[in-house]
Amino acid sequence: MGESGDRPGARVVEQAGELRSARLESLRAVAALAVLVGHVFGQAHGYRAEETLGTLGDRILLGGGFGVFLFFILSGYLLFWPFARRDYDGGPPIDLGRYARNRALRILPLYYVVLVVVLIFTESGGTANQWLTWATFSENFTTDRSDVVEVNGVMWSLVIEIHFYILLPLVAYGLARLARGSLARAAALLGAVGLASFVLRYITLYDDAGPISPLVDYSLPSTFMFFAAGMLVALLRIAWQRNPPAFIRGPLASAELWIAASAVLWLLLFDEYSRGWLAAPASALLVGACVLPLRPGPVIRLLEWKALAFVGVISYSLYLWHVPILEQLGETSWEPESFPGLLLLGLPLSLLVAALSYRFVETPFLKLRRRWGATAARPASEEEPPRRQAAAYEGG
C-alpha cells in the first residue's frame, strides 16, 4: 500500500514526481474552488448580507468559504494516517525530522512568495508591522477581525494548519500512550477532545451570544474539531481493514450513499450558517467515501478525473493567489459587475496563475523532499522507484 492515504488500486495523479490519490486531490480541488466561488460571489455583491443571503442558491454560493474546513479535515486524515498506522496497525516508525522538513517545504516557500508579492504590489510596500506580523504567522493573534484578513483573506487558515503540524506528533504520542494500542479507546479520547473543541466553537461563534473574538475563532482549539474528524476517519479505516463490519457488504457500503449524506448536511449548513459545525461530519463523510472500503460509484469515478485532480494538485497556489487576484480586479475599471462575469474572468485567471505558481514556486521545493524520502520509513520490500513514491504528508 502506498502512502498517499488512499485505497490501493485507486487512481493516482502526479505531484512533483510523487503519486497522489486522485480522489483526495479532487476533494482539495472542490474545497479550493468552493472558497474561490464564495469570494467571487461576495465581491460581486459587495459582501452585503441583505443582497446575498436571500435564497438558498445564494447562500450556497456565498457559503463556499466553508470549504476551508474540508482542507482541515483532509489534513487531519492525511497527516495523522502514518501516526495511526504506526501506533495501532504495526506501521513503520516516523522520522520527525523528515516530517518537519516535509511540512516546511510544503507550506513556507509559497506562503512567503505570496506574502512578499502582496505586500510590495498591493500594500505599497507594507508597513513594518505587516511584515513582522505576517512573516511570523502572527496575524491570528488580534482582537480585530479586520486585521486578520488585512493582507490576504485566507492566510489565517495557514496559521492554524501550522499549529496543527507542530502539535500533531505530541497529540499522536499522548493518544497512543493513553489508548495503549486500543482503537476504541483512541477514538473515544479523540472524540472527547473534538467534542470539547466543538463546545468552545459553539458557545463563542455559533451560539450568537455576543461579539466574536478572532482570538478564539481563528485558533486551533476552536477548529480542532475539524482536524479530529479527519483523524477519526483514519482510525476507522484501520478498524475496518482489520475487521470489516457486516454492513459494508450491504446497501450502506455504497460510497455514493455517504456522499449523498454529506450533501444533505451541507445543505443544512447553507440553509443556516450558524450550523457551520456541520462542515465537520459533512467533510468526514466525503473523505470516508474516498478512503474506506466502500463500493465506488459514478461520483467517486468523477473524483478520479485527472483534470479535476490536477486542480487539486495546484490547489494550494489557487487558494493563496485567488484573493489578491480578485481584489486587483476590483481595483480596475473593467471589473465585471455581475457574479457570472466576475467568475468567468476571475476563475481562469486564478487557475492560470496557480498553475504557473505550482510549476515555478512549489515544484522545485516539493522535489527537494525526494532527497530524504517520505516521513514514514518503509520496508525495503515495499520500496518503489523514487519517482513513483507517494509522499506521506500532503495536508493543507
Tell me how far the alpha carbon of residue 56 is from its chain's centroid.
Answer: 25
Q: 124 in helix, strand or coil?
A: coil
Q: 383 pLDDT band (50/70/90 cuts)?
A: very low
The full length of the chain comes to 396
Q: Is the pLDDT of residue 387 over 50?
A: no
393 within a domain of the structure (yes/no): no
Question: How far lies 151's CA from each of 72, 115, 142, 178, 217, in Å?
Answer: 22, 8, 14, 42, 18
154 within a domain of the structure (yes/no): yes
pLDDT in tens, 75-86: 999 999 999 999
Show the domain range for 53.
Answer: 12-373
383 within a domain of the structure (yes/no): no
**Residue 206 gets which letter from DSSP?**
I
Q: 94 in helix, strand or coil?
A: strand
| 342-349 mean pLDDT | 96
The total number of structural domains that make up the chain: 1
151 within a domain of the structure (yes/no): yes
326 within a domain of the structure (yes/no): yes
287 within a domain of the structure (yes/no): yes
382 within a domain of the structure (yes/no): no
User: How would DSSP label each residue in 218-250?
Assistant: TSHHHHHHHHHHHHHHHHHHHHHHHS--GGGGS
- pTM (2 d.p.): 0.91
Q: 16 in helix, strand or coil?
A: coil
User: How would DSSP label each residue in 304-369?
Assistant: T-HHHHHHHHTHHHHHHHHHHHHHHHHTSTT--SSHHHHHHHHHHHHHHHHHHHIIIIIHHHHHHG
> Residue 143: what pLDDT?
80
Element (H, E) at 168: helix 156-179
Beta strand ranges found along 43-193 (DSSP E): none
388 within a domain of the structure (yes/no): no
